[in-house]
Amino acid sequence: MPRSARCIAVFSIAVLLLTSGLTCQASAPEPAAAAYVLMEADSGRVLLARNEEQRRSIASTTKIMTCLVALEHSTLTDKVTVRREHLREGSSMYLAEGESLTMEELLYGLMLPSGNDAAECIAAYCGGSGGSKQFIAWMNEKAASLGMTHTAFLNPSGLDESGHGSCALDMAHLAACAMQDPTFARIVSTRTACVGARTMTNHNKLLASYSGCVGLKTGYTGDAGRTLVTCAERGGMRLVAVTLYDGSDWADHAALYDYGFSAYHLCCGAKKGETYGSVNAAGEAVAAVAAESFCYPVTEGESLSVRAELPQAVAEPVQKGQKLGTLVISCGERTVGTIDLVSARSVQAQGSKEKTEKKKTLAETLWQFLSAGVRGDLSGRGKNSKTHRRSGALLPAHRRAVDRRRARVRERRDSVHRAESRSRL
């Protein structure tokens, strides 16, 4: 190939790579939602967002919190009887007054067909004497514990009510927390469930249409419009997507996930049990190991770095697993996580060491003493007692003491035998 042709080819490849990189950079989707967020569930890193802290109506995605709180305040086998006041407008699992169901059946009716009747029934039962009011208080307490600062719950179903709402970011954190509960995850990943004569189908279409989708919840009211919270997993990475007031939510969620899984990958910043330094304890070097693993989503141009914060020395005793310091993980200039560094082994205090050595020395001496006594007994068998006594005079003092003790034991035994013989006579 002529040199000029090679130059043109190289230039063409360079332009192609540059333009493809620009295309990749510009491929981040633009959802039609009024507010949305795409978040990596375990780390909480926001990958894409718009108006993510804007408080809005959230419709039936409220039931994510309803389900989570119900699991904390009941058992799946609890029997619940439906009352007239539990029946509500809107989406329903079609409960009948007087009907008795298990809590598990009600939770499937809550999360698959989005039953408002199931929500009211669950809240009233779990709240006990406090009823739904107590249950709603628990919902708000749970929200506060999760740092959902833009959230307020006024009912368990998500029906429009002034003051009832949340934001996309809060709902993403709620979803990430809820999916850690195995029972919750099992329910929301179920496509179809039968309760009595009912066959209930999950409203979440992404379970069937998007590879890797593992749940969550749909919603719709006049004020909220279409709301959707979903979760998907690929390659060990779990993402959560939330869209509020989005008329094309199914397509937008698929596009968000396509972007997230292609642009980011999990990077391991620390491995459980791996050594990240050492400290001095009683003159010994003790390895400081990671108490847990840490992974974080990064783009191709990003990497993680670690810094161990450890003292030079620690006071003994040191227990295996005892915290020694902290490992700080950074992505660029930003700290993204910290984990404990713990002792890989135990170290005794100096005084305890000396006591242990003394005990060990005494134990070894006693063992040698007893072993020597047994050997002496074995070697003395078959010899006449007179010879044995003469040889005993040449034994060390402790051997003669043992012989005297044994003689006293034999004398006591013989005395007992003589006494028993006289009593029989």
Tell me which residues are annotated as active site: 60, 63, 114
- Residue 94: its H or E element: none
Give me the amino acid identity at 67: C
Within 13 A of 342's CA, how many CA atoms are on the CB side? 17
Instruction: Provide the CB-side half-sphere exposure for 202 (13 A, CA).
Output: 23
From the list 68, 57, 47, 42, the residue with the least C-alpha distance to 167 is 57
- Who contacts 16 (Cβ-Cβ below 8 Å, separation ≥6)? none
Q: For the chain, what is the total number of helices (H) and then of strands (E)?
A: 12, 16
Q: Where would I find the beta strands (DSSP E) of 21-138?
A: 35-40, 46-50, 79-81, 100-102
3-state secondary structure of 402: helix
User: Which residues lie below 8 Å from residue 52, measured CB to CB, with a gap of 6+?
Assistant: 35, 36, 37, 46, 167, 168, 169, 172
Amino acid (1-letter code) at residue 230:
T
| Helix spans in 94-196 (H) | 103-111, 116-126, 131-145, 168-178, 182-188
Bridge partner residues of 323 (DSSP): 342
Rounded CA-CA distance 131/233 in Å is 37
Contact between 229 and 241 under an 8 Å Cβ cutoff? The reply is yes
Query: What is the separation of C-alpha 291 from the centre of its chain, rounded to a whole number of angstroms?
Result: 13
How many angstroms from the chain centroid is the CA of residue 108?
24
